[in-house]
Amino acid sequence: MDLSLTDEQKLIVDQVRRFVREEIVPLEDGLDPDADSLPPDDHERLAGRVAEMGLYGLDIPPEFGGPDVDIVTRTLLAIEMSQHRAGLYAPCYNVFGGAGLAQMFEANDDQKQRFLFPMLRGEKKTFFGLTEPSGGSDPARAIQTRAVRDGDDWVINGAKMFISGADRADFGLVFARTDPSKGRAGVTCFIVETDTPGFHVRRIVHTLRAARYATELQFADMRVPHANVLGEVNGGFAIANDRVSRQRIPYAATCIGVAVKAQELAVEYAGIRETFGDKLAHRQGIQWMVVENEIDIRQALWITLAAADKARRGEPFRTDSALAKIVATEASGRVVDRAMQIHGGYGVTKDLPFERWYREMRIRRIGEGPNEVQRHIVARDLFGSSLR
């Protein structure tokens, strides 16, 4: 595998790196320490700049108007875009736009008009409703939300837990059991508009994460038209699974970006700060921390780029992306922790970005399929599918 960057890749990586350093990082000085959005004027201005660079809507497929950037390059860019305080969960405060719910590309023509295109134009916000109070690691078994057909509608009752952004969304995907006898083959995906009677956001679930907080949902006799079934009835699980596998590569990449920035700050600080008459950088204890950081970053980077390369070539990449997710989330957590240690007391203040990265990075081992489940995926690949 050739991991050297092409001239074109170098050019756009450099362009995005400069954008983050010159436009995003300086703005953060004036933002709340846990902000996840920009003032509207700044957002509009910067989204305009991104459009001028030809990079708006990076992960939108070209047939839907996206800029046709391959997944390896998008991974490299995701690593750049997260190199600021809010970068883990709000990379560049979303001024690069995005595909939103990738499953919506499975929509039929009518659904595309009503939901997909407004979502891509940024007019409609979305949520992804899979996890339930009964569990998220194994949704095929845990889903208890029920949908029962009634004429042209489905009547949905149940609850969802940890659903990000549902309180401000216009619509979202809700996975419900439509055939209780069939396990994973009995789950259907519904497009649910948040103004539907019976749709309730019961509370915000406050977590370590500052950006895109989670919510708890309840559905009480919520009627959803059959026309809002995404894909096939009882075919919802494949849709859910597909998103989660695809998401793992950018998920890993944003962690690496934060780790790269944390390491850069640690190296810089160790070169300036003196204790006991000498610079921290001259202490072997500090040097080794920085070297351990470098090992973690490079391992995570190469495993993630290898997964992206397989995806680009159209080869199966489920195991590779699971490995990338495990290595990047765990390695980046260690890097942020060491960088924080090198900064001493300043490392844990809100004056610097480490404390936010430290909190938010912890979630990365749980979100998008916990790391234990990723290990299960890899083990299944090694031992064969008989492993349950």
Ligand X SMILES: Cc1cc2nc3c(=O)[nH]c(=O)nc-3n(C[C@H](O)[C@H](O)[C@H](O)COP(=O)(O)OP(=O)(O)OC[C@H]3O[C@@H](n4cnc5c(N)ncnc54)[C@H](O)[C@@H]3O)c2cc1C
- The partner in contact with residue 137, picked from another protein, ligand X, none with C-beta cut-offs of 5 to 8 angstroms by kind, is ligand X
Q: Which helix (H) or strand (E) holds 15?
A: helix 7-19
Instruction: By CB under 8 A, tell whether 350 contacts another protein.
Output: yes
Q: Closest distance between ligand X and the C-beta of residue 61, in Å?
A: 22
User: What does 257 bind: another protein, ligand X, none (CB cut-off 5 to 8 Å by kind)?
Assistant: none
Interacting partner of 372 out of another protein, ligand X, none (Cβ under 5 to 8 A depending on kind): ligand X
Q: Which of 23, 42, 153, 167 binds another protein (CB under 8 A)?
A: 167
Least CB distance from residue 22 to another protein, whole Å?
A: 21
Strand segments, DSSP code E, in the chain are 126-129, 146-150, 153-164, 171-177, 187-193, 199-205, 214-225, 229-230, 274-275, 278-279
Q: Is 84:96 a contact under the CB 8 Å cutoff?
A: no
The answer for residues whose C-beta is within 8 angstroms of residue 143's C-beta and 6 or more apart is: 130, 132, 134, 175, 176, 177, 187
Torsion of CA 200, 202, 203, 209, to 10 degrees: -50
- Cβ proximity to ligand X: between 19 and 219 the closer is 219
Q: Does 123 bind another protein (CB under 8 A)?
A: no
| Residue found under tokens 């040097």 | 287
Q: What's the sign of the alpha-carbon dihedral 76, 81, 83, 89?
A: negative
Which residue shows structure tokens 């064969």?
384
Q: Tell me 44's DSSP state.
A: H
Least distance from C-beta 348 to ligand X, angstroms? 21
State which of residues 213, 317, 357, 358 lies at the interface with another protein (CB under 8 A): 213
Binding residues for another protein, rule CB under 8 A, total: 20
Position among 35, 53, 185, 363 found at the interface with another protein (CB under 8 A): 35
Task: Tell me which of 80, 355, 360, 368 is the catalytic residue.
Answer: 368
d(CA 126, CA 164): 9
Residue 368 annotated as catalytic = yes
**According to the binding rule CB under 8 A, does residue 359 interact with another protein?**
yes
Does the footprint of another protein cover residue 351 (CB under 8 A)? Answer: yes
37 binds, among ligand X, another protein, none (CB under 5 to 8 A by kind): another protein
For 64, the 3-state DSSP assignment is helix
- Choose the stretch contacting another protein; rule: CB under 8 A; options: 90-98, 110-118, 182-190, 204-212: 204-212
Q: What does 36 interact with, of another protein, ligand X, none (CB < 5 to 8 A by kind)?
A: another protein
Among the listed residues 210, 270, 286, 301, the single contact to another protein using CB under 8 A = 210
Which residue number, 33 or 198, has a Cβ lying nearer to another protein? 33
Q: Of another protein, ligand X, none, which one does residue 168 interact with (CB within 5 to 8 Å by kind)?
A: another protein
Does 204 bind another protein (CB under 8 A)? Our answer is: yes
Minimum distance between the CB of residue 172 and another protein, rounded to whole angstroms?
16
Q: Which does 35 bind (CB under 5 to 8 A by kind): ligand X, another protein, none?
A: another protein
Nearest distance in Å: CB 99, ligand X: 15
Q: Minimum distance between the CB of residue 208 and ligand X, rounded to whole angstroms?
A: 8
Under 8 Å CB-to-CB from 342, ≥6 apart: which residues? Answer: 266, 269, 270, 280, 286, 289, 290
Q: What is the DSSP string of 340-387?
A: HHHTHHHHTSTTSSHHHHHHHHHHTTTSSS-HHHHHHHHHHHHH-TT-
**Nearest-CA neighbor of 300 among 243, 270, 266, 262?**
262
Q: Which residues bind ligand X (CB under 6 A)?
A: 128-131, 135-137, 162-164, 207, 209, 214, 363, 366-367, 370, 372-373, 376
Count CA atoms closer than 13 A to 171's CA, side-chain side.
24
Give the list of residues 6+ apart from residue 261 with CB closer than 8 angstroms, or none.
Answer: 82, 83, 84, 87, 353
- How far is 136 from 141, CA to CA, in rounded Å? 9
Q: Which residues are catalytic?
A: 368
Q: Which residues bind another protein (CB under 8 A)?
A: 32-37, 167-168, 202-204, 206, 208, 210, 213, 215, 350-351, 356, 359
